[in-house]
Amino acid sequence: MAQTEEIFFMDIPLLFEQDYVSWFDETWLVYVDRDVQVERLMKRDHLSKDESESRLAAQWPLEKKKDLASHVLNNNGNQDQLLTQVFSLLEGGKKDDRD
């Protein structure tokens, strides 16, 4: 796919944990505060708080991933705010939420 597409996106929750990062030129981390992450996971997958926490425990903390990602997008707001950040990065604007 990398040979036929200029840009493509993949959603890989265990990207860093499984060492897939070398497959990509850049990595964009969509970051969210832990409490928001748990709440959204509970709602999306109809899980209890304990089940959500257990699932997230299998992943590295997002704080650790922030240091490894090429760019960090803040997803604590709404979808429009996230898309604004995506378009800004695609257009070469603000590098990421760490700027």
Let me know if residue 95 belongs to a domain: no
Number of domains in the chain: 1
Tell which residue, 64, 68, 74, has the closest CA to residue 98. 74
Let me know if residue 2 belongs to a domain: no
CB 47 within 8 A of CB 41: yes
Let me know if residue 47 belongs to a domain: yes
> pLDDT tens digits, residue range 22-76?
999 999 999 999 999 999 999 999 999 999 999 999 899 999 999 999 999 999 9
Q: For residue 35, what are the domain limits?
A: 27-90
Looking at the predicted structure, is the pLDDT value of residue 6 above 90?
no
Let me know if residue 15 belongs to a domain: no
How far is residue 29's CA from residue 75's CA, in Å, rounded to a whole number? Answer: 10
Let me know if residue 14 belongs to a domain: no
Let me know if residue 43 belongs to a domain: yes
pLDDT at position 75 is 96
Looking at the predicted structure, is the pLDDT value of residue 2 above 80?
no
Let me know if residue 16 belongs to a domain: no
- pTM of the predicted protein model: 0.79
Tell which residue, 33, 27, 35, has the closest CA to residue 10. 27
Let me know if residue 74 belongs to a domain: yes
